[in-house]
A and B are shown apart, each in its own frame.
Chain A
Amino acid sequence: MPATEILRIATAGSVDDGKSTLIGRLLHDTKSIFEDQLESIERTSEKRGDEQTDLALLTDGLRAEREQGITIDVAYRYFATPKRKFVIADTPGHIQYTRNMVTGASTANLALLLIDARKGVLEQTRRHALLSSLLGVPHLVLCVNKMDLVDYDQRIYDEIREEFTSFAAKLDITDLGFVPISALQGDNVVEPSPNMPWFHGQPLLGHLEDVHIASDRNLVDNRFPVQYVIRPQSAEYRDYRGFAGSVVGGIFKQGDEVMVMPSRKASKIAAIDTPDGEVAQAFPPMSVTIRLEDEVDVSRGDMICRPTNQPTASRRFEAMICWFDETSHLRTGAPYQLKHTTRWVAAEVEELRYQLNVDTLHRDLTAETLEVNDIGRVAIHTTSPLFFDEYRINRTTGSFILVDPATDLTVAAGMIISAGGDVGAVSDTASIVAENITFHPSKLSRDERWGALETSGATIWMTGLSGSGKSTIATAIEHTLVSSGRAAFMLDGDNLRHGLNANLGFSPEDRDENVRRTGEVAKILAESGTVAIVSLVSPYKAERDRVRALHEEAGIPFFEVFVDTPLEECERRDPKGLYAKARAGEIKDLTGVGSPYEAPESPDLVTSPDLEEAVRQVLALLP
């Protein structure tokens, strides 16, 4: 029998979308429903007086669910074709079940969303797409269902497809597929539909069978969280010492040089054992036992990696969390237990940065807590360092759960965005960074440097809408300063996106990261004695404040300059044609059009509309 892969699918939606009918049809047409199951739900349907057999009963396994005709919990269904095995995690779609959707999506390779062709893209669809993106589900398939009820009209399908595509552009979705179907009639579910000859793609099942998932694993960054140390007490294996665990990233090979976190002891892989003998290499998701050449102290919770490619080690990090517990809400500063890979550590949520509205993508910076089904960004502090990667790089080393020690309940699930570097902890610089990575203090003090060079650095941060004139003013300032013999350097948002920030998109998280990186570079330039002139839309107040805090912490002058050109004027100028595109619907996340701009509340300067006057104003700020 050829190797078959397992594809894990997360579905979400209500009965109205025809989700249960679709799952029922997939199971039925792949002969995965058993006769006794079918008879049993027929009996129940009859008893309830349903007109037709309710296929939802197949997945609604609990008494309360059947009695109330609702889905409460994640249900797992299994079916197989000769090509693949499928595990469906089926979850209810309503907002109050966000946590169930998050659970189902956490291990999914693919998210299956349904849209009723008559209703188009709904709030619920957008929410499901956002959650899939947040949980890093690599593939998304949108089924436009009930095509039979709209006369198999291609125009309707195309419109929905277009609308959803432009919404999806705002999210972190790499692979998006569309299939027009009728679950009830079976169109494009298993067989291509004769009713929609205009559709040239594969039917849904073919798509599910063929979607390429082997590359979704991270095979680059070697990560092996040690689960258990195997030390047989028998005479035969007296000296055996193996570190058991699952490979969660990269490919480990016999003879590889490795490093063990947190001790940072180096060794080589002597052998990789499986119960069926030694293997030359191990990759995700293999469960193996690694033996090392040297007697290195390794225990559960340690991580084996490569000396040249280590996870971040830190006690502080930023994360998105989803609150799960109905009986408690997020308490900042309260003690929680945190599980990450094979480690438990004590942790506290230092700060709630914002709550994310999963329907509108709005960030509520004033939120003070998270309750059940809420999602928000937080800063977390742990008692001992974690060895992690960003969730988007590795779903295993980037995820964690929070447990309330009083109740032992899992209260939240989290996805790591980045190592800490936050406003609240600025006075505690050393602890922001990795436990064992210390700053190399520069031998020269800043005063010595600036004094010797007869210069002084500063950062001028110009924020405003696209087309507001930031870059024009910045260029003029750079020119003026350099001509006068003072070191100055312009950091332009667009230019940085070609290099330093080339891997970032326009999601809120990427925008944050864009600002963070640019802020760090500006600070380094300023520290060296240069005037860093940043021209960046930087729409979010929180991120700008963070950059300011970073500078203030280092004692470097920082000036927030607001180029307050009204949107209508920016749009009239439209130097890059972005507004035209946004209005035409080609881009959806342009700041000011499809994405919010949070104006500074107390900038150091609001520039004059007159260029020369603006330049003069900015120069007057500098010491």
Chain B
Amino acid sequence: MDEITKVRPAAVELDDLDTLEAESMFIIREVVAEFEHPVMLFSGGKDSVLMLQLARKAFAPAPVPFPIMHVDTGHNFREVIEFRDKVVDEYGLRLEVASVQDLIDQGIIKVGHELESRNRHQTRALLDAIKDGGFDAVFGGGRRDEDKARAKERILSFRDKFGQWDPKNQRPELWHLYNGRHKKGEHIRVFPISDWTELDVWRYLSREQIELPPIYFAHEREVVDNEGLLMAVNEFFPLPDGAESHTKMVRYRTVGDATLTGAVPSQATTYDLVIEETAVSRITERGATRGDDRFSEAAMEDRKREGYF
């Protein structure tokens, strides 16, 4: 085979995943070029794993030029924290932890009891950490297909000096011309994977053979049916009185506070099987697994207004 025939014919089309990847890399680079202190939220969940992977690609062969931040409720799945630390170590990242537990210990956040959901308290921990770290851009892994309120949010989303989002006063966002200008004390949330769907995320992670925390794949676990959510029974979710637990094959579609994130029954032990399941799933990932989004029609909008991711 001579030199010329080795060169493949000129294909000038990108498939959907390559297109999404290219657009996300563009957004991440724009922000790093125009902001002084960006930081990327990293929970160990699949969306933040994807986002971090895209950031690595955007600056290769140089390292990721910003730290990552974990908003830690103290109610973590053990496997996820192990995974987080492994990733930090492997990629040589700088990790900032915004700890809800610290704020509770300092008496800044008051909780009723130890095991109540700390989901909402993450907002305070996050906003404090943004302020203390002097961050002017915060990457988040929100996607528009997740929730109605997120479907309306800009890719670069302005936050006032109290960290608040005003959905009715959003900056228009046209073409790929992002306006991240802001005054001191204000900041911008950046959602580089806005246009990815849950299925896209899975297909991409599978294609790239990227490691995820093991709880994303089907495994045996002791669970209890609690108001329609399949909750893992552990120190964060003791078996309610009178309830009966079962050992089932389950996996997690999202990773959040362990007191309110439910599992789904699943036999999907590999990427391919998860993709199959996702493709035929008739329930959104948040509806299936998150107690926090079930409170009201506008649960996410309300939390976002206050400064939540």
How many Å lie between the Cα of A413 and that of B178 in the bound state?
12
Contact with A along B110-151 (1 / 0, CB 8 A): 000000000000000000000000000000000011011111
Bound-state Cα–Cα, A340 to B282, Å:
42
Q: How far is the CB of B202 from chain A (nearest CB, A)?
A: 13
The reply to whether A72 and B179 form a contact with Cβ atoms under 8 Å apart is no
Contact with A along B280-292 (1 / 0, CB 8 A): 0111100110000
Contact with A along B282-309 (1 / 0, CB 8 A): 1110011000000001100110000000
B172 adjacent to A410 (CB under 8 Å): yes
Check B16–A399 contact: CB distance below 8 A. no
Residue A580 lies at the interface, judged by CB distance under 8 Å to chain B: no
Known A-B contacts A36-B287, A285-B22, A342-B33; the reply to A244 vs B16 at CB < 8 A is: no
Q: Does A204 make an interface contact (CB < 8 A)?
A: no
Q: Which of B163-171, B218-226, B252-260 participates in binding chain A?
A: B163-171
Q: Out of B25, B177, B283, which one reaches A36, CB within 8 Å?
A: B283
Q: Which residues of B contact A4 (CB under 8 A)?
A: 15-16
Nearest chain B CB to A257 CB, angstrom units? 18
Shortest beta-carbon distance, B274 to chain A, in Å? 15
Chain A residue at minimum C-beta to C-beta distance from B22: A287
* B173 interface residue per 8 A CB criterion: yes
- Given A78-B197, A395-B175, answer yes or no on A62-B288 (Cβ-Cβ < 8 Å): no
**Which residues of chain A are within 8 angstroms of B61 by Cβ–Cβ distance?**
230, 232, 234, 236-237, 240, 273
Please tell me which one of the listed residues A1, A31, A234, A400 contacts residue B177 in the complex, with CB atoms under 8 A apart: A400
Q: Is the CB of B22 within 8 A of A214?
A: no
- Residues on B with beta carbons closer than 8 Å to the beta carbon of A236: 61
Min C-beta distance of A577 to chain B, whole Å = 43
The chain B residue with its CB closest to the CB of A77 is B151
B1 contacts chain A at the CB level, 8 A cutoff: no
A28-45 interface code vs B (CB 8 A; 1 in, 0 out): 000100111100100110
Q: How far is the CB of A416 from chain B (nearest CB, A)?
A: 12
Q: Is the CB of B152 within 8 A of A75?
A: yes
Contacts of A100 in B (CB 8 A): 172
CA of A37 to CA of B25 in the docked complex: distance in angstroms?
31
Nearest CB on A from B292, distance (A): 14
A102 within 8 A of B: yes
Q: Which residues of B contact A408 (CB under 8 A)?
A: 179, 181-183
A427 to B59, alpha carbons, bound, how many Å?
47
A54-83 vs B, CB cutoff 8 Å, 1 = contact: the mask equals 000011111110100000111111101000
Name the residue on A nearest B33 (C-beta): A228
> Which chain A residue has the least Cβ–Cβ distance from B18?
A286
Q: Are A339 and B284 also in contact (CB < 8 A) when A62-B149, A231-B62, A244-B58 are? A: no
Q: Contact: A399 with B177, CB < 8 Å?
A: yes
B195 touches A244 (CB 8 A): no
Q: Out of B26, B62, B149, B179, name the residue touching A227 (CB < 8 Å).
A: B26
Give every chain A residue within 8 A of B149 (Cβ-Cβ).
61-62
Residue A122 CB within 8 A of the other chain: no
CB distance from B170 to the nearest CB of A (A): 7
From A61, A274, A405, A413, name the one whose CB has the most chain B CB atoms within 10 angstroms: A61
Known A-B contacts A285-B19, A403-B179; the reply to A72 vs B174 at CB < 8 A is no
Query: Of residues 189 to 221 in B, which have CB atoms within 8 Å of A's CB atoms?
Result: 194-195, 197, 199, 203
A219 lies within 8 A of B12 (CB):
yes
Q: Does B26 lie within 8 Å of A61, measured CB to CB?
A: no
Residues of B within 8 Å of A228, CB to CB, are: 29, 32-33, 59
The answer to the question of A107 belonging to the interface, with a C-beta cut-off of 8 Å to chain B, is: yes
CB <8 Å contact, A409 and B287: no
- Taking CB atoms, residues of chain A closer than 8 Å to B26 are 227, 245-246, 287
Interface residues on A, range: 35 or more
Give the chain A neighbours of B194 by CB distance below 8 A. 76
Instruction: Provide the bound-state CA to CA distance between A405 and B181, in Å.
Output: 9
Q: Smallest distance from the beta carbon of A523 to chain B beta carbons, Å?
A: 36
The residue from B25, B60, B144, B302 contacting A78, defined by CB atoms under 8 A apart: B144
List of A residues within 8 angstroms of B56 by Cβ: 275
B66 to chain A, nearest CB (A): 13
B62 touches A237 (CB 8 A): yes
**Smallest CB–CB gap between B5 and chain A, Å?**
13
Does B96 sit at the interface, judged by CB under 8 A?
A: no
**Is B63's beta carbon under 8 Å from chain A?**
yes
Nearest CB in chain A: distance from B29 CB, A = 5
Is A300 interfacial (CB 8 A cutoff)?
yes
Q: Verify B151–A76 contact, CB threshold 8 A.
A: yes
Minimum Cβ distance to chain B for residue A31 (Å): 8
Q: A37-B287, A61-B151, A280-B7 are in contact. Are A409 and B171 (CB under 8 A)?
A: yes
A410 to B148, CA, bound (A): 24
Contact of A99 among B172, B282, B301 (CB under 8 A): B172
In whole angstroms, how far apart are the Cα atoms of A230 and B10 in the complex? 27
Most buried by A among B13, B23, B152: B152
Residues of B with C-beta under 8 A to A396 = 175-176
Residues 1-42 of chain B: 1 if any A CB is under 8 Å from the residue's CB, otherwise 0? 000000110101111101111110110011011000000000
Which residues of the other chain, A, contact B174 by a CB distance below 8 angstroms?
102-103, 106-107, 399, 401, 410, 413
Chain B nearest CB from A261 CB (Å) reads 18
| Shortest Cβ distance from residue A435 to the other chain B in the assembled complex, whole angstroms | 22
Cβ contacts under 8 Å, B177 to chain A: 339-340, 399-401, 413
A85 CB-CB contact with B under 8 Å: yes
- Smallest CB–CB gap between B85 and chain A, Å? 23
Q: Are B181 and A337 interface neighbours, CB within 8 A?
A: yes
In the complex, the answer to whether B32 meets A59 with C-beta atoms within 8 Å is no
- From the candidates B29, B152, B195, name the one contacting A61 in the complex (CB within 8 A): B152
Which A residues are CB-close (under 8 A) to B283?
A: 34-36
> Nearest chain A CB to B21's CB is how many angstroms away?
7
Which B residue sits closest to A300, measured CB to CB?
Answer: B33
A251 interfacial contact with B, CB 8 Å: yes
* A324 contacts partner chain B, Cβ-Cβ < 8 Å: yes
Q: Let me know if B195 and A87 touch, CB within 8 A.
A: yes
Interface flags for A324-350 (1: CB within 8 Å of B; 0: not) read 100000000000010110100000000
B19 touching A399 by the CB < 8 A rule?
no
| Nearest CB of chain A from residue B179's CB, rounded to whole Å | 5
CB contact between B301 and one of A63, A77, A273, A337 (< 8 Å): that residue: A63
Instruction: Check if B57 is an interface residue, CB within 8 A of chain A.
Output: yes
Listed by A's residue number, 19 A-B pairs whose Cβ atoms lie within 8 Å are: A4-B15, A62-B148, A63-B298, A63-B301, A63-B302, A72-B168, A78-B145, A85-B16, A227-B29, A228-B29, A228-B32, A273-B60, A274-B57, A275-B56, A275-B58, A281-B10, A281-B12, A410-B179, A413-B177
In addition to A102-B174, A214-B13, A230-B59, 18 A-B residue pairs with Cβ atoms within 8 Å of each other are A3-B13, A3-B15, A34-B284, A35-B283, A37-B284, A37-B287, A62-B168, A62-B301, A102-B172, A227-B29, A228-B59, A232-B61, A246-B26, A275-B56, A283-B12, A285-B22, A408-B182, A410-B173
Q: Which 5 A-B pairs have the closest CB atoms?
A: A61-B148, A36-B287, A3-B15, A275-B57, A232-B62
